[in-house]
Amino acid sequence: MLKDYDLPDESGYGSHIPALKFIFQHISPKFSMEYGMGFFSTPFLIDHSERVFSLEMQEKEWYDKVVEKYACQKWDHAFSEEVDEFILMEVPDFLFVDGSSVTRAIGVVHAMQKGVDTIALHDSDSVWYGSQMADQYIQPLGYVSHVFTEKYPTTTVYTKNENLVKVLNQLKLDADK
């Protein structure tokens, strides 16, 4: 049976799934978090992580729909419109950032400062979300970044995971040929 994230995406909301599938071929997170829940990312993370925490910050009605559809024992979730609620209480192995525009760039930078191994940012090509804010932290904090442009909008991964860094560096070498 096909999972929701494997179905054709007519909405565009699942454009990050090819990037997540690539990333998860090279990492094995025990604990994943996401800022911004959805019918693509949430079931993907549930299926590919031992434990998941999702935080929805925009619409309670959306939150309720996603919770109703994917509720399971290994998935914890919360809804809060308070920006400070997204601050990491526990450092995950993987963080997917696709939440409110106010918290996207701040969430990535905060996760880097906390040492999250791998972070993926959806819609990273949008200046409106402020993703360029993270660029100044990549090298000083030991991260490598790669922008997945196979589908629009783009998804950027920031990682310190040695296996993923090797693969991403090889992608860059291959692209330069």
Total structural domains within the chain: 1
| Average of per-residue pLDDT values in the chain | 89
b/e map 34-47, b = 16+ CB within 10 Å = bbbbbbbbbbbbbe
Q: Are 44 and 20 in contact (CB under 8 A)?
A: yes
Q: State pLDDT tens for residues 58-92.
A: 899 999 999 999 999 999 999 988 766 667 778 99
Answer whether residue 6 is part of any domain.
Answer: no
- Is residue 95 very low, low, confident or very high in pLDDT (cuts 50, 70, 90)? very high
> Considering the entire predicted model, what is its pTM?
0.92
Most confident of 26-40, 96-110, 136-150: 26-40
* Complete edge-to-edge strand list for the sheet that includes strand 31-35: 75-79, 51-56, 31-35, 94-97, 118-122, 155-159, 144-148
Q: State pLDDT tens for residues 134-166.
A: 888 899 999 999 999 876 678 999 999 999 999
Answer whether residue 5 is part of any domain.
Answer: no
What CATH code is carried by the domain that includes residue 55? 3.40.50.150
**Range of the structural domain that residue 154 is part of:** 16-176
Joined together, the tokens standing for residue 34 give 């996401």
Answer whether residue 3 is part of any domain.
Answer: no
